[in-house]
Chain A
């Protein structure tokens, strides 16, 4: 059974940083792309970033490009999202999602329960 467990969320001031992690199990982690998707309060789902199975290729939404960095450690079956220069509008539940293939240009077939990031002064 695929399991994805996010951690690292919390309260941070504008301009601050947070690092989210996602521990994966139940599948061959390096064989699949991974993504981060967020949901702001009262809003819909927004894709944030994706990384290929190897970790060599990364993609970002324009709203986070230059501020967020996605990475993965295939030896530890863990996905990360380093979030810098956080803004009020980054407040959201962040979900880790497993891709259906190695390519980041793919849908997600399993999701974690999410971790809440609150940016507030």
Chain B
């Protein structure tokens, strides 16, 4: 199975701050990586697909980069509504696997 190591597990930042989350795959997954936002009691929401493509309707303050084994997710200016847990997921091979999640809070 492909292991996805996501860090940090949590972070606290101020409104307007730049937030960066990393995800490392245990083997080359090309660009087969999604980033999701998950708020309590809600459906997870796809933000970034194929490592760097912004899903339709998602604000441009969200971005993703990387390929191979190392990936980065960035919120360029944190907003109060961005409070959530963020997950990376690889879909290069089955079983599909997720990173452990990053809980983002407002300082």
Contacts and interface: CB of A to CB of B under 8 A. Distances in A.
A111 B96 contact: no
B34 A108 contact: yes
B97 A47 contact: yes
A50 B96 CA distance: 9
B46 A45 contact: no
Contacts, number: 63
A47 B43 CA distance: 15
B44 interface: yes
A95 B44 contact: yes
Interface string B51-95: 000010000000000000000000000000000010101011111
A39 to B, nearest CB: 8
A107 B87 CA distance: 12
Interface residues of A, number: 25
Nearest to B34: A107
Interface string A83-121: 000000000000101001000111111111110000000
B: interface residue count bin:
20 to 34
A105 B94 contact: yes
A73 interface: no
- Classify the interface of chain B: helix, strand, loop or mixed: loop
A46 B98 contact: yes
9 contacts: A44-B98, A45-B44, A45-B101, A47-B89, A50-B94, A105-B91, A107-B46, A108-B34, A110-B43
B18 interface: no
A109 B49 contact: yes
A35 interface: yes
Contact of B95 (A59, A100, A112): A59
Contacts of A11: none
B52 to A, nearest CB: 13
Nearest to A99: B91
A114 B49 CA distance: 22
B43 A111 contact: yes
A108 B38 CA distance: 13
Contacts of A109: 46, 49, 55
